[in-house]
């Protein structure tokens, strides 16, 4: 039994011997989780990693080094990745192919740590709302406030903007900066409208600051030593109720309408306008439509003007129509329902109905009758056909110009196709990486993982290793040509 256990341990150590996965063990929501794959060997192939536990993963840089011991060349490759989970995740075991053999990294649990508000006598980061209990579509004012002692030497300050999931949001002006006793205060406000019912969480926000480190003994020519700190705010939980059925507006609104005439001639246009004004979620008013039988309606896109009055969001909605009819029509009432929270009931607004008189156009009828008579009489007129004869010289001349024009068109089409083939080619990530190299060593490191893929490329890599005094620009140009011609990709 002991012998089997030892063999198992040796086997596990063997399959993990030349590979390593390194990462942090915990993270805060909103922060990136970064992990690195490390492998040693001559020919290394990393896996394609697109996601971890359903979260999208992107590459975050790579590095390589080359060592030659007793004539044996070995390279060390490191590839870094990052992703942004919002819960505890497990980074799985990854298979890495080294010199034709499979090696596996160890899986690792990454714990999501709940953010706690930073407690300090020198600074404070706070978020709050004007109301935590709302209806869907009801306004609340979100305030972000950061304050710090005036004697605190902050060199740099960078805050992460809030992401209001489940809310429609709009920033209210620019940030304000003022002094409050011993503190300097920075304040920023947003107006929020919840878009769904239930309990909605606004997570804690993060602020990255750089402070002068007065306790450090390091002295720099460029300035005093600094230290970086992360400051976290509190979090918020809001309770959102549903609006009554078939109601999407909440607030206080008025509606009005008008026309430019009540009597018109057949075929003449009538201008009709609706205006809605008030405080509330006026953005949620849709494009209003009219349904009038026996009329042609041309609707203009609604115009919306927004403002804040006494801390209440609202504005004006205007919609205009052009209506054309050949007989009497009725422009019906337009109904609009909204929920009045103060009265705790649904209010229905209704526009005025218009009865439009349309005069028949006798002149137009006479013209139509005359046109009809002319059309009937024209059918009796004998059609005359004029035949035009062309000479042989004219035929040759027409043929010559036709041939010349066709040749020009064919040549132009061929040129456009060739030009499109050149421009359609997408530059590979390997070509981009080669173009960004800054020297022979940098170029060599970028190509080490592509050994034994192409003979011409191997030849160039050997030249790079043996001769460091090459013309860098020309060498890079030659390598790029090989990569493009052979379609070598990573």
Other C-beta atoms lying within 10 Å of the C-beta of residue 53: 14
The whole-angstrom distance between residue 419's C-alpha and the CA centroid of its chain comes to: 31
Which of 279-283, 408-412, 430-434, 440-444 has maximum average pLDDT?
Answer: 279-283
For 359-414, the pLDDT digits (tens) are 986 554 454 454 445 544 545 444 444 444 455 556 666 666 677 777 788 878 77
Helices and strands in the chain, H and E counts: 7, 32
Other C-beta atoms lying within 10 Å of the C-beta of residue 285: 20
Mean of pLDDT values over 161-166: 89
Contact 91, 36 (CB under 8 A): no
CA distances from 73 to 23, 41, 66, 197, 465 (A): 28, 8, 7, 63, 12
Percentage of residues in the chain with pLDDT exceeding 90? 52
Contact 75, 63 (CB under 8 A): no
The neighbouring-strand residues paired with 81 are 35, 59
Mean of pLDDT values over 63-76: 78
**CA separation for the pair 88, 53 (Å, rounded):** 10
Other C-beta atoms lying within 10 Å of the C-beta of residue 148: 23
- The domains located in the chain, with CATH, are 16-113 (2.60.40.10), 123-241 (2.60.40), 251-359 (2.60.40), 429-486 (no CATH)
Which of 13-17, 154-158, 218-222, 315-319 has maximum average pLDDT?
Answer: 315-319
CA distances from 415 to 408, 410, 422, 485 (A): 11, 9, 11, 21
Report the candidate in 128, 119, 124 with the shortest Cα–Cα distance to residue 202. 128
CA distances from 260 to 257, 265, 292 (A): 11, 13, 17
Q: Which residues contact 291 (CB under 8 A, 6 or more apart)?
A: 332
Percentage of residues in the chain with pLDDT exceeding 70? 83
Q: State residue 47 phi and psi, 5-degree precision.
A: -75, 160
CA distances from 252 to 62, 280, 287, 338, 402 (A): 58, 6, 19, 8, 73
For 223-276, the pLDDT digits (tens) are 667 788 889 999 999 999 999 999 999 999 999 999 999 999 988 899 999 999
Question: What DSSP designation does 151 have?
Answer: T
Report the candidate in 156, 52, 142 with the shortest Cα–Cα distance to residue 94. 52
For 451-472, the pLDDT digits (tens) are 777 888 878 877 877 777 778 8
Q: Does 475 have pLDDT greater than 80?
A: yes
| Structure tokens given for 443 | 């170029």
Question: What DSSP designation does 382 have?
Answer: P
pTM: 0.60
CA distances from 197 to 72, 137, 138, 201, 406 (A): 66, 10, 11, 12, 67
Contact 337, 348 (CB under 8 A): yes
| Structure tokens given for 213 | 């480190």
The neighbouring-strand residues paired with 201 are 237
Confidence band for 424, pLDDT divided at 50, 70 and 90: low
**CA separation for the pair 363, 430 (Å, rounded):** 77
CA contacts within 13 A on the Cβ side of 324: 6
């Amino acid at each position: 039994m002991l012998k089997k256990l030892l063999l198992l341990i040796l086997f596990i150590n063997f399959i993990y011997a030349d590979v390593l996965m390194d990462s942090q063990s915990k993270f805060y929501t909103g922060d990136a989780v970064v992990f690195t794959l490390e492998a040693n060997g001559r020919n290394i192939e990393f896996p394609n990693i697109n996601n971890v536990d359903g979260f999208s993963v992107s590459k975050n840089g790579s590095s390589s080094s080359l060592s030659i011991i007793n004539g044996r060349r070995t390279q060390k490759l490191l590839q870094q990745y990052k992703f942004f989970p919002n819960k505890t995740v497990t980074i799985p075991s990854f298979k890495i192919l080294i010199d034709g053999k499979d090696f596996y990294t160890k899986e690792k649990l990454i714990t999501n740590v709940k953010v706690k508000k930073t407690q300090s006598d020198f600074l404070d980061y706070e978020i709050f709302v004007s109301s935590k209990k709302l209806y869907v579509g009801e306004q609340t004012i979100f305030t972000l406030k950061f304050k710090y002692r005036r004697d605190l030497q902050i060199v740099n300050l960078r805050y992460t903007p809030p992401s209001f999931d489940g809310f429609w949001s709009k920033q209210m002006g620019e940030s304000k900066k003022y002094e409050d006793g011993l503190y300097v205060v920075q304040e920023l406000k947003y107006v929020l409208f919840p878009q769904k019912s239930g309990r909605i969480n606004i997570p804690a926000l993060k602020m990255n600051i750089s402070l002068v480190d007065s306790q450090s003994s390091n002295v720099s020519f460029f300035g005093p030593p600094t230290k970086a700190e992360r400051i976290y705010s509190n979090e918020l939980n809001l309770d959102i109720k549903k609006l009554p059925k078939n109601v999407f507006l909440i607030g206080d609104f008025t509606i009005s309408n008008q026309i430019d005439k009540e009597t018109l001639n057949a075929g003449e246009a009538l201008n009709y306008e609706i205006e809605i004004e008030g405080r509330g979620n006026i953005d949620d008013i849709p494009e209003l439509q009219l349904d009038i039988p026996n009329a042609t309606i041309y609707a203009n896109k609604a115009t919306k003007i927004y403002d804040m009055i006494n801390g209440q969001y609202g504005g004006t909605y205007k919609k205009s129509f052009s209506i054309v009819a050949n007989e009497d029509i009725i422009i019906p009432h337009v109904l609009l329902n909204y929920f009045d929270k103060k009265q705790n009931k649904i209010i229905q607004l209704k526009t005025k109905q218009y009865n439009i008189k349309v005069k028949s156009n006798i002149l137009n009828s006479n013209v139509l009758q005359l046109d009809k008579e002319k059309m009937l009489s024209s059918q009796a007129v004998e059609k005359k056909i004029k035949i035009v004869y062309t000479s042989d010289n004219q035929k040759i001349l027409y043929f010559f110009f036709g041939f010349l024009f066709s040749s020009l068109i064919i040549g132009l089409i061929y040129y456009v196709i060739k030009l499109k083939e050149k421009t359609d080619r997408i530059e590979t990530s390997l070509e981009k990486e080669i173009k960004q190299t800054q020297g022979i060593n940098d170029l060599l490191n970028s190509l080490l993982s592509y050994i034994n893929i192409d003979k011409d490329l191997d030849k160039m890599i050997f030249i790079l290793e043996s001769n460091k005094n090459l013309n860098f620009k020309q060498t890079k140009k030659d390598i790029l040509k090989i990569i493009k011609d052979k379609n070598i990709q990573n």
